[in-house]
Amino acid sequence: MISQLFILSSKGDRLVYRNFRGDGGDDVTDAFYRAVTSLPGDQAPVFMAREGRHFVHVRHGGLYVGATTTVDTSPFVLVEFLNRLVTLLREHCGTLSEKSVSVNVALVQELLGEMVDFGYVQTTATEVLRSATHGEPETTKAFSLLDLRSVGLFGAETQQSRVAPGSVTNRPVLPPRGEQGGRREVFVDVVERLTVVIAANGTPLKVDVQGEIRLKSFVPGACELRMGLTEELSVGTEEQRGYGRLPLAAVAFHSSVDLEEFEQERVLRVTPGPGEVTLMRYQLAEDVAVPLPFRLLPSVEWEPAGRLRIHLKLRCDLPPKNHAINVVLQLPLPREASSLAQELSSPEQTAELQGGGRSLRWAIPRCQGGAQLGAVFRVQLPPTPPLGLGPAALTFELPALTVSGLRLRWLRLSAPPGAPPGPPQRWVRHLTHSDSYVVRL
């Protein structure tokens, strides 16, 4: 049961607020934002308890989407509802940002009024909400390739030539009433998250790969979609594994997916309506050797007068035809640094001190497979006994690549009755990004 629901900007400005049960004041959003900003670190806990009230929130596009409750409610249900709310707002408004929410406040309030009644969730079905609401979305400005920080899941590979225009996936899924809609397109993204811990001697201590197959459809009506996955895919016990196989430790499918052809041919069949849905979630078996995309070779020397010399070599072990983008290395320093001198191997790289001099940030916009980049940093620290460095943390994206090797072999669509002539446009994209990539020094 939900008491209040709110959407806040990254600065704490209240964009949307709804009090379903009248059992709390309007100051709950201020209390929530104070609690979030007072916590150390960049990631606040999803659940918090303050003054007899439970807060739950998710972050998306720099916004806080949160809810409160005063009764014993399943936290997983609340998180699932908030994530579904994010998806619905993206479907109706095209994108979820501070600007899109601000110009569509009336539509968002109308959706909340239909979704929740006196704190109880009534429906989250796109088709039901579409028929029950009357507002039309106000679109914001089109997506720009120059603003790489705003690239979302479905725009992650826009730096490549063979991708859809960015404005396509940022438009509302549902066309305006009385119109037949725009281009009929279907997007399928295979996205993997990589969690790695590497020891100081270069030995991988933990390698975890989790992925999902997401579908976003702009096709009105119900069209049957069939997709073929990697044939070497195996799910289950050790007896089913063998050389050249791709073993998955766990797999979960959406309830709408037909698995009749999956066991023998690795084919998924689904009849989606307009909107976004996660068709499949999976986790790679832990005993599978995954080629790591980066290797860090550090060298640290303490010089006189408190100067610390850090020599970093970053080698990209991807195939030469692949590359990584938005590579950032974050290195905690033992004390607050007063100055930084740098020698970088290419002019597009940048480096700076962050967190009041407690952290070193090295940013690389693009790194080609097989390349080795180097940097030398001289950091001025207080003249006290030296302490240890690290560990270093890497963040990156790998367009057109899945580290597990799971890919879509083909994608076929059958148009529904009465559809315009010609097949819908199909876009298939693969992406791997770092969830946590830690290298101990």
User: Which residues, in sequence order, are CB contacts of 41 under 8 Å at separation 6+?
Assistant: none
Judged against a pLDDT cut of 50, whether residue 277 lies above it is answered with yes
| Tens-place pLDDT, residues 117-166 | 998 999 988 878 888 888 888 876 544 443 434 444 444 444 333 444 44
Are 316 and 369 spatial neighbours (Cβ–Cβ below 8 Å)? Answer: yes
How much helix, strand and coil, in percent to the nearest 5, is found in the chain? 15, 40, 40
Rounded to whole angstroms, the Cα distance separating 394 from 392 reads 7
pLDDT at 23: 80
| Tens-place pLDDT, residues 296-326 | 999 988 877 778 899 999 999 999 999 999 9
| Tens-place pLDDT, residues 346-388 | 999 999 988 777 889 999 999 999 999 999 999 887 776 556 6
pLDDT at 179: 55
Burial label, 241 (beta-carbon count in 10 A; 0-12, 13-18, 19+): middle
pLDDT at 22: 84
What angle, 0 to 180 degrees and rounded to 10, lies between the N-to-C axes of helices 75-93 and 105-115? 140
Q: What are the phi and psi torsion angles at 19 (to 5°)?
A: -105, 105
pLDDT at 145: 40
Judged against a pLDDT cut of 90, whether residue 13 lies above it is answered with yes
| Tens-place pLDDT, residues 36-82 | 888 765 566 788 887 778 899 999 888 999 999 988 888 889 999 99
Angle ∠(438,440,441) on CA atoms, nearest 5: 140
Average pLDDT of the chain is: 84
Q: Is the pTM of this model over 0.85?
A: no
Q: How confident is the model at residue 175 (pLDDT cuts 50, 70, 90)?
A: low
H-helix or E-strand spanning residue 214: strand 204-217
Cα dihedral: 116, 120, 125, 127 (round 10) = -50
pLDDT at 439: 95
Rounded to whole angstroms, the Cα distance separating 319 from 315 reads 12
Domains and CATH numbers, the chain: 4-132 (3.30.450.60), 180-289+411-431 (2.60.40.1170), 294-399 (2.60.40.1170)
pLDDT at 72: 81
pLDDT at 139: 74
| Tens-place pLDDT, residues 207-256 | 999 999 999 988 877 788 999 999 988 886 544 555 557 889 899 999 99
Average pLDDT estimate for 385-405: 87
Rounded to whole angstroms, the Cα distance separating 373 from 371 reads 7
